[in-house]
């Protein structure tokens, strides 16, 4: 393997809490040295001046959707991995809502066999096992069988409407020692809503989803966690009140972690209206997003107060991780009226540069805070050892240039789908190299 010496690179390592300018020597797949100045190195070493570039551990996505198997016209596992690598993600956990779903060992074996045939050096894919048979929320899947396999944990990725079933699931899974991820959403309260309920939804003329659709379901989940004692990860937190409930639950010692999706930190419901006043001036591209079906998400984008509360919760550690929830759809599926559009947008290639410029360069987050909730935080939530930048460990690293400008177009995206509100826009920031050994 080649030897590389990166000089004068900004090294971010959330595990050690380090943010410094240093030299780093990588050889034979391992990090050999991280020092202020490396003066002695083998003669065949490739030396690179990396001033202005950022080196950090590879990013981890706690949950995303795959088109394959069943919806390969949206995305294949190979294109997903290519998109993840282009965006700096070295680990991606895939939700089980494929066709067939990952609710038994045969479905899991099919996926593992397929990724095993792909070339090395790609992001590592992990798979969530389904909580319920067919991901239909009616009866338990073969949890014992799946727990003995390589699933990273259990999650349907959809809301579960039966509290009695959730209780049985938590009680059954507790001795299995696997992670559980639940999305709090009361479908009866959400109804046919398409955006967050409030003044903006009225002006938009779109059916609203009340915040209580999330918070009432979350309160019930937290009560069941308190009763069962099973560790649970709360997916897709999107309201200010949910932040309060999770903060209180953690203060009481409940074994819960939580994540927010990246777009809920950058945007709010005002982006859909195209009125910068509605968005509180939080995004300069608001007018370009008006009624964009790619902003049709589950949960819906929150109000400005929700967005601000989520940002603060990430900084405070109440929310442990940023999830991408990458959800590819075809052009035809998304080229419909807003309320008729299937929810979801891609994000693996876009999250890091847009979060960097939207939160770090604006002073909302420090660089280390952002890297923590995109790398170490998600890994810990998955029960994994986070990647780190330290001598003697395998190189699981990315090199990020925050200044490279590029246009988000179909041909510039590695993902097979291009359902994103930033399509056609010029953005800054790109991962220029990835190491995965």
CA distance linking residue 152 with residue 134, whole number of Å: 18
What pTM, to 2 d.p., does this model score? 0.95
| Residue 110 structure tokens | 């099919």
6-27 pLDDT per residue, tens: 999 999 999 999 999 999 999 9
Dump strand ranges (E) for 305-425. Answer: 321-323, 396-407
DSSP category for residue 421: T
Spatial CA neighbour of 50 closest among 95, 4, 91: 4
Q: What is the mean pLDDT of each run of 10 residues along the chain (437 residues)?
A: 92 98 96 96 94 98 96 94 96 96 92 77 93 97 93 96 96 94 97 94 94 98 97 98 98 98 96 73 63 96 96 98 98 95 97 97 97 98 97 97 95 90 95 95
Kindly calculate the radius of gyration of the chain based on its CA atoms and give it in whole angstroms.
21
The strand ranges marked E within 122-198 are 124-129, 153-154, 179-182, 195-196
d(CA 66, CA 79): 10
Known catalytic residues are: 325
């Amino acid at each position: 393997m080649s030897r590389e010496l990166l000089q004068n690179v900004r090294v971010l390592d959330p595990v050690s809490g380090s943010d410094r300018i240093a030299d780093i020597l990588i050889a034979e797949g391992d990090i050999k040295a991280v020092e202020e100045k490396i003066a002695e190195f083998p003669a065949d070493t490739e030396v690179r001046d990396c001033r202005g570039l950022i080196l950090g551990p590879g990013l981890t996505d706690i949950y995303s959707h795959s088109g394959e198997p069943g919806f390969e016209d949206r995305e294949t596992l190979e294109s997903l991995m290519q998109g993840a690598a282009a965006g700096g993600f070295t680990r991606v956990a895939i939700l089980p809502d494929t066709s067939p779903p990952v609710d038994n060992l045969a479905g899991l074996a099919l996926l593992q066999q397929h990724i095993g045939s792909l070339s090395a050096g790609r992001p590592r894919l992990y798979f969530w096992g389904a909580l319920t048979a067919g991901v239909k929320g009616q009866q338990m899947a073969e949890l014992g069988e799946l727990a003995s396999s390589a699933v990273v944990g259990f999650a349907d990725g959809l809301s579960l409407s039966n509290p009695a079933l959730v209780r049985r699931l938590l009680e059954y899974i507790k001795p299995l020692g696997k992670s559980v991820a639940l999305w709090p959403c009361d479908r009866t309260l959400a109804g046919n809503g398409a955006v967050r309920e409030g003044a903006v939804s009225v002006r938009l003329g779109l059916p609203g989803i009340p915040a209580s659709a999330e918070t009432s379901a979350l309160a019930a989940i937290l009560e069941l966690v308190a009763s069962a004692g099973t560790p649970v990860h709360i997916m897709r937190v999107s309201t200010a009140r949910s932040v309060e409930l999770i903060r209180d639950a953690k203060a009481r010692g409940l074994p819960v972690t939580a994540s927010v999706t990246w777009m809920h930190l950058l945007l709010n419901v005002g982006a859909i209206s195209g009125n910068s006043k509605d968005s509180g001036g939080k995004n300069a591209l608001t007018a370009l997003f008006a009624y964009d079906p790619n902003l049709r998400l589950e949960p819906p984008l929150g109000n400005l107060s929700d967005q601000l509360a989520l940002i603060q919760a990430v900084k405070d550690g109440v929310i442990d991780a940023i999830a991408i929830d990458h959800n590819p759809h075809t052009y035809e599926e998304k080229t419909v009226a807003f309320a008729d559009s299937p929810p979801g947008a891609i994000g693996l290639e876009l999250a890091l540069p847009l979060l960097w410029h939207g939160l770090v360069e604006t002073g909302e987050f420090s660089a280390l805070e952002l890297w923590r909730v995109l790398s170490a935080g998600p890994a810990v939530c998955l029960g994994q050892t986070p990647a780190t930048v330290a001598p003697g460990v395998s190189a699981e690293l990315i090199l990020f240039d925050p200044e490279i400008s590029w246009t988000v177009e179909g041909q510039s995206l590695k993902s097979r789908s291009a359902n994103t509100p930033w399509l056609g826009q010029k953005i800054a920031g790109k991962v220029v190299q990835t190491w995965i050994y």
